[in-house]
A and B are shown apart, each in its own frame.
Chain A
Amino acid sequence: MTTVSPSVPDRVGASPVRDSPARRGSAFLYRHAKVRLALLLSAPLFWLGLVYIAALVALLITAFWTVDSFTGKIIIEWNLANITKVLGDALYHTVTLRTLGTALVVTVIDLAIAIPFAFFMAKVASRRAQRILVVAILMPLWASYLVKAYAWRSILAQGGILDWLFAPIGQTSPGYGLEGAVITLAYLWLPFVILPIYTALERVPDSLLEASADLGGKTGRTFRHVILPLITPGIIAGSIFSFSLTLGDYIAVKIVGGATQMLGSLVYANVGVANNLPLAAAISLIPLAIIFVYLAVVRRTGALENL
């Protein structure tokens, strides 16, 4: 009698499960979720923890050291001199307030432009126009930061396009200074602010807006009570970009800000020319503290996942 294999074992036989090391490894990993997790997490956590968190901690520590004024070498000698200097010196108060004010103004300007624009993109424009607009916003996002700052350098320049535009009404370009820096920074971060707000708006289903209208909600009321609560995480995500990026900027300020000094300028000067790393570390703790407070506040809103 010939052996006719039953169909089920036959199908198993068609793809034999070989006992290879890879197979055993696979089975082991399949059964041990914790090992899988450890394998996935170890490299990234090693990198981010060792490179980044350790660096931040080291920065904090360095702020309590000093620099030998003759040799320029860092001396490990614990003291509060840098911290008291940063907290007590009027220069740092002025620059901190200026930087914080600039960051707030830039954020407000960007939100004022981004919210209506994102709303037009998400809810008014046709499907086709929407796709084009997304590309139109993404493209300058990818165009170099420096190129854009440079563009404003040429716009604000003496004899530049703003001078030319304002000449008929007897005005001149604001030139390189704080106003120029604010305009340039607002310009630089605008796409970063538009995108998360647009993403949030796109997720708001039209049916909700129709429901609100059916129930008698006017445009303004629908916006305040239906749309705004839903896009708040997007707005916050956008504001993190403009706020934090402004706090840490010194390049745009250097290019269009004239003699304006920001916290970033002071940090850079102390790392480079003045070669006082501990003092630079102490100064950089100011924007770090500000942004940590900001992040701690917004973390509850779940906006961080929208970055």
Chain B
Amino acid sequence: MKLTLPSRIVLGIVAAVTLAFIYVPIVIVVLNSFSTSKNLTWPPPGFTTEWWVKAFTNEAALAAVSTSVTVAFAATAIALLLGTALSFALHRFTFFGKSTVNLLVVLPIALPGIVTGIALNNAFRTMLGLQLGWLTIIVAHATFCVVTVFNNVFARLRRVGTSLEEASSDLGAGIWTTFRLVTFPQIRSALFAGGLLSFALSFDEIIVTTFTAGSGVQTLPIFILENMFRPNQAPIVAVVAVVMILIAIVPIYLAQRLTSSDSSR
């Protein structure tokens, strides 16, 4: 399809406007975190670093960060195990109910967050009589993180095929040796990318978390939500928000490096 120059220019302008639409709000959050105004007035009446100092000495905020990191690590570890096993099962075998299993993996993120949230809340509290807390958050997060690992590993398995593994077993390697020396190196970066995505998903999740966290455990998103409506805390929320944006850049950069080195291979 030959696009004329004017239509290319129009598309370019549409793309530029879209990018602006995506990025301007984020820039505004960054500017607001330095604003002397406490109630989000624009343009900022003045600039200060006071909120940054306050946020970094705020114990509740720091505790929330460490809670979020712990939960995200635990959920990602579980998701890596389950997601990898599932992707191998679905890639290497044909069995009865395969498409149902495929649907089952997607379900926790395809269903509305409140449905997942209330279903788990109800199961934990009413059915199992558990107290909401660390365990329930981690179980809930792991459930919807499985799909990100599954997608990454499954896509990789589909691309690399099985011929190298067949060659390995023809040459006498057992299943473990083949996995360690042939399969694992092939899927390593997919595991890493899937793990990063799952970590970010868990770190950021709020809806299911509000239903499964109880009152004792406060993740970073819950901290932000609870402080957003308190006028005195609003600037600290802006700072925490900027920190969360900065944290997101690192995994993105890594994931991008991983996938670009894959495609040049």
Q: Which residues of A contact B (CB under 8 A)?
A: 15, 17, 22-23, 25-27, 29-30, 33, 36-37, 40-41, 43-45, 47-49, 51-56, 58-59, 62, 74, 113, 116-117, 119-121, 123-125, 131, 133-140, 142-148, 150-155, 157, 159-161, 163-164, 187, 190-191, 209-210, 212-213, 217, 219, 222-223, 226-227, 240, 244-245, 247-251, 255, 263-264, 267-268, 271, 277, 280-281, 284, 287-288, 291, 295, 299, 304-305, 307
Question: With contacts A120-B15, A284-B115, A291-B111 known, is A151 near B174, CB below 8 A?
Answer: no
Q: Is the CB–CB distance between B204 and A131 below 8 Å? A: no
Residues of A contacting B252 in the complex (Cβ-Cβ under 8 angstroms): 135, 138-139, 142
Q: Is the CB–CB distance between A29 and B110 below 8 Å? A: no
Task: List B residues 68-106 near A (Cβ within 8 Å).
Answer: 78, 81-83, 85-86, 88-89, 92-93, 95, 101-106
How many angstroms from the CA of A155 to the CA of B120 in the assembled complex?
34
Question: With contacts A154-B32, A264-B112, A284-B114 known, is A48 near B104, CB below 8 A?
Answer: yes
The answer, yes or no, to whether B160 is at the interface (CB within 8 Å) is no
Instruction: From A55, A125, A222, give the contact of B122 (CB < 8 A).
Output: A55
Residues of A contacting B172 in the complex (Cβ-Cβ under 8 angstroms): 15, 17
Chain B positions 22 through 61: 1 when the CB is less than 8 Å from some CB of chain A, otherwise 0: 1101101100100000011111000000000000000000
Among B4, B15, B139: residue with most chain A CB under 10 A: B15
Residues of B contacting A17 in the complex (Cβ-Cβ under 8 angstroms): 172
Instruction: From B109, B126, B221, give the contact of A277 (CB < 8 A).
Output: B126
Q: Is the CB–CB distance between A249 and B207 below 8 Å? A: yes
Question: With contacts A277-B122, A287-B112 known, is A140 near B101, CB below 8 A?
Answer: no
Question: With contacts A143-B245, A154-B32, A251-B206 known, is A29 near B82, CB below 8 A?
Answer: no
The answer, yes or no, to whether B157 is at the interface (CB within 8 Å) is no
Q: Is the CB–CB distance between A251 and B207 below 8 Å? A: yes
Question: With contacts A136-B19, A249-B113, A307-B109 known, is A222 near B1, CB below 8 A?
Answer: yes
Residues of B contacting A251 in the complex (Cβ-Cβ under 8 angstroms): 206-207, 210, 225
How many angstroms from the CA of A217 to the CA of B149 in the assembled complex?
41
Smallest Cβ distance from B225 to chain A, in angstroms? 6
Instruction: From A43, A124, A223, give the contact of B8 (CB < 8 A).
Output: A124
Q: Is the CB–CB distance between A134 and B126 below 8 Å? A: no
The answer, yes or no, to whether B228 is at the interface (CB within 8 Å) is yes
In the complex, the 6 A-B pairs of residues with the closest C-beta atoms, listed nearest first? A248-B112, A26-B174, A151-B25, A55-B123, A209-B1, A40-B89
Instruction: From A22, A74, A143, A263, give the contact of B114 (CB < 8 A).
Output: A263
Q: Is the CB–CB distance between A33 and B93 below 8 Å? A: yes
Residues of B contacting A223 in the complex (Cβ-Cβ under 8 angstroms): 1
Q: Is the CB–CB distance between A145 and B1 below 8 Å? A: no
A-B pairs with beta carbons under 8 Å apart, 26 shown: A22-B176, A25-B175, A26-B177, A37-B95, A43-B82, A44-B105, A47-B82, A59-B119, A74-B126, A116-B14, A120-B15, A123-B1, A124-B8, A131-B256, A144-B204, A144-B241, A146-B206, A150-B237, A152-B25, A159-B39, A161-B42, A190-B18, A222-B1, A226-B1, A227-B1, A281-B118
Q: Is the CB–CB distance between A52 and B121 below 8 Å? A: no
Smallest Cβ distance from B147 to chain A, in angstroms? 7
How many angstroms from the CA of A277 to the CA of B126 in the assembled complex?
9
Q: Is the CB–CB distance between A164 and B43 below 8 Å? A: yes
How many angstroms from the CA of A43 to the CA of B142 in the assembled complex?
13
Instruction: From B28, B89, B103, B118, give the contact of A267 (CB < 8 A).
Output: B118
Residues of B contacting A277 in the complex (Cβ-Cβ under 8 angstroms): 118, 121-122, 125-126
The answer, yes or no, to whether B130 is at the interface (CB within 8 Å) is no
Residues of A contacting B123 in the complex (Cβ-Cβ under 8 angstroms): 51, 54-55, 58-59
Smallest Cβ distance from A15 to chain B, in angstroms? 7
Smallest Cβ distance from A147 to chain B, in angstroms? 4
Residues of A contacting B101 in the complex (Cβ-Cβ under 8 angstroms): 41, 45
Beyond known contacts A123-B3, A124-B12, A249-B114: 17 more, CB 8 A cutoff? A30-B174, A40-B89, A41-B85, A43-B81, A44-B146, A48-B105, A52-B107, A55-B122, A55-B127, A58-B122, A124-B3, A151-B241, A154-B238, A160-B41, A164-B42, A227-B1, A264-B112
